[in-house]
Amino acid sequence: MAGHHSPALSASQMEQLAVLGERRTAQAGDVLFRVGDATYPFIAIEEGEVAILDAAGNELVRHGASSFLGELNLLSGQTVFLTGVATQPMRYIAVDRDSLRDLLFEDGPLSDLVLTTFMSRRAALQRVEGVGIEILGPRSSEATIRLVDFARANRLPFTWHHEAPAGEEPPVVRLPGGIELKQPSSGEVLRALGIGRELEPREEVDLLVVGAGPAGLAASVYGASEGLDTLVVESTALGGQAGSSSRIENYLGFPAGISGAELTGRAVSQARKFGARPASPYRAVGVEPGDGRHLVQLEEGHEIAARAIVLATGAEYRRLPLAGLSEYEGTSVFYAAGPPEAQLCGAARVAVVGGGNSAGQAAVWLARGGALVTLLHRRADLRETMSDYLIKELELRGVVVRDRSEIAELHGSDGRLEAVTLTDGTRLPFNFLFLFLGARPCTEWLGDEIARHADGFLLTGDAAGAANLLETSVPGIFAAGDVRSGSTKRCAAAVGEGSMAVQFVHKHLEAQPVAAR
């Protein structure tokens, strides 16, 4: 498992930890924490060695002097997934979780070292069989599939057994430490693991952010840091679609790119640091605009009364129903074509799938960057769906257009695409695939009071008759990121809109007398 070369703490960092924590000793064979424990301290080893074991007692890795133990569950407060046993007499420093958190906010270098290590350990754990939760249920059970997708999106280590125990309705979930949950909701699983806050039946806040992708996380970081009592609700996974993207190449300040998990993981830590409260998974099911306070209903009967709301629910990109698609997403299958993708695809064989203008623009742009581009679309004639000037551009740039073409199968390995097979049996060699099949905004839960474009995206500013750029047709309700009509569907743009929306929230709140509670 990754982490044999555990990053070392400097002598001064060890001293800092000793001031906050306490020095302890252990004998060979002593258990420092075990699978299923509710919590454990941050442990920095001064002398000796610790073996990390999975639930079955298999050794995964050993850590020695000046390394530290722990992974993401130490910060999120999740149930412990692994067991730590001293293999020789040891001296160590134990720091409790809350003190550690305070230190991470004050000390940049230590914070970087610890967070990066925790994230890479979690990524490694997800590849280890038999760690984390067990999900029992067949592929034919929709509820089981939903739970597996949910565990994946939330980066929970899990093992999937394809049958439920005899006589049980699937799914059954076994937690570390052996507790069994029957047909739990995803929220029950998270809360049983000690993650995810319980919300009161009714909460009152200054700012409610709906959706915790880049736009929602930015709004909550800025809202909370500027003194607004901020609650963030998210129905699936903190980080949204960006969180599952394996690499975000064009994010300002990260010349080597950054993984979506790391970018959004840092943003969630940042939001928590300023006192924003992320609550997931809670799905918003309705909104009632009010005077001074707007009410948002969540599933399971919760409601939130907020003086201002930022809607950052994003859009779902239509995916192709292909086996193994998720293995390629973010490395060789993309849903947007920009400078980083054009650079990646220079001189490679690329397929753009879709018949609309966004597909045409992407094909032209990639071809200009030197890629060999084929446009695949379902219909008999591209003119039904694409503007003439783009069709001329495609010819000019040497883009091959294939009518009546749909992909049936992907071929490749390790996330690298090599070829596709079409429904008529033709096999074509491609290294990259760009899907422009349309995006569906997550707005179907909103009532008619909030104005939408015909395609369902939220209108803001002038288009909505609103005073502020990102305000919807209801004063005090704002939209940011992919859900907003006219947004660029880019991670950095979503972050910009999320932080800008908070400036308009302040403006709105200043004009409002404080509502009587």
Nearest 5°: the CA angle 187, 191, 193 is 120
The answer to whether 375 touches 404, Cβ cutoff 8 Å, is: no
Cα-based distances in Å from 431 to 99, 328, 330: 48, 10, 13
The larger pLDDT score, comparing residue 126 to residue 345, is at 345
Q: 0.85 exceeded by the pTM?
A: no
Residue % of the chain over a pLDDT of 90: 58
Burial 370-401 (b: 16+ CB within 10 A, else e): ebbbbbbbeeeebeeebeeebbebbeeeebeb
Both tokens assigned to 35: 């699978």
Contacts for 379-384 with beta carbons within 8 Å, 24 or more apart? 379/355, 379/403, 379/404, 380/404, 382/355, 384/355
Query: CA 487, CA 310: separation in Å to the nearest integer?
Result: 15
The larger pLDDT score, comparing residue 106 to residue 235, is at 235
The larger pLDDT score, comparing residue 261 to residue 349, is at 349
Nearest to 238 by CA among 216, 221, 257: 216
For the stretch 230-244, pLDDT in tens is: 999 999 888 888 877
Q: What is the pLDDT of residue 374?
A: 97
The answer to whether 394 touches 360, Cβ cutoff 8 Å, is: yes
The larger pLDDT score, comparing residue 517 to residue 289, is at 289
Supply the mean pLDDT for the chain.
90
Residue 404 has pLDDT above 60, yes or no: yes
- What average pLDDT does this structure show over 132-141? 92
Terminal C-alpha separation, the chain: 53
Q: What is the pLDDT of residue 196?
A: 64
Residue 488 has pLDDT above 80, yes or no: no
The larger pLDDT score, comparing residue 75 to residue 277, is at 277
Residue 203 has pLDDT above 90, yes or no: yes
Q: What is the pLDDT of residue 412?
A: 95
Residue 5 has pLDDT above 80, yes or no: no
Q: What is the pLDDT of residue 247?
A: 67
Both tokens assigned to 296: 């948002």
- What average pLDDT does this structure show over 5-18? 90
Residue % of the chain over a pLDDT of 70: 97
Which CATH code fits 202-315+475-484+496-511? Answer: 3.50.50.60
Q: What is the DSSP string of 449-481?
A: TS-B-TTSPBP-GGGGT-SSTTB-SSTTEEE-G
List the helix and strand counts (H, then E) for the chain: 14, 28
Phi/psi at 120 (5° precision): -70, -30
Which amino acid, 240?
A: G
| Lowest model confidence (mean pLDDT) among 12-16, 68-72, 73-77, 299-303 | 73-77
Q: What is the DSSP string of 74-105?
A: HHHTPPP-SEEEESS-EEEEEE-HHHHHHHHH
- What average pLDDT does this structure show over 202-211? 97
The larger pLDDT score, comparing residue 465 to residue 346, is at 465
Which CATH code fits 11-125? Answer: 2.60.120.10
Q: What is the pLDDT of residue 517?
A: 45
Q: What is the pLDDT of residue 259?
A: 79
Q: What is the pLDDT of residue 249?
A: 66
Q: Exposed, middle or buried: residue 166 (CB in 10 Å: 0-12, 13-18, 19+)?
A: exposed
Banded pLDDT at 246 (limits 50, 70, 90): low
Residue 388 has pLDDT above 50, yes or no: yes
Can you tell me whether residue 413 is helix, strand or coil? Answer: strand
Q: Which residue has the tokens 């699978």?
A: 35
Residue 100 has pLDDT above 90, yes or no: no
> Domain 325-437 adopts which CATH fold?
FAD/NAD(P)-binding domain (3.50.50)
Nearest to 126 by CA among 160, 158, 162: 158
Q: What is the pLDDT of residue 125?
A: 85
For the stretch 338-377, pLDDT in tens is: 777 787 888 899 999 999 888 999 999 999 889 999 999 9
- What average pLDDT does this structure show over 74-78? 75
- What average pLDDT does this structure show over 39-58? 93
Nearest to 410 by CA among 360, 362, 376: 376
Residue 1 has pLDDT above 80, yes or no: no
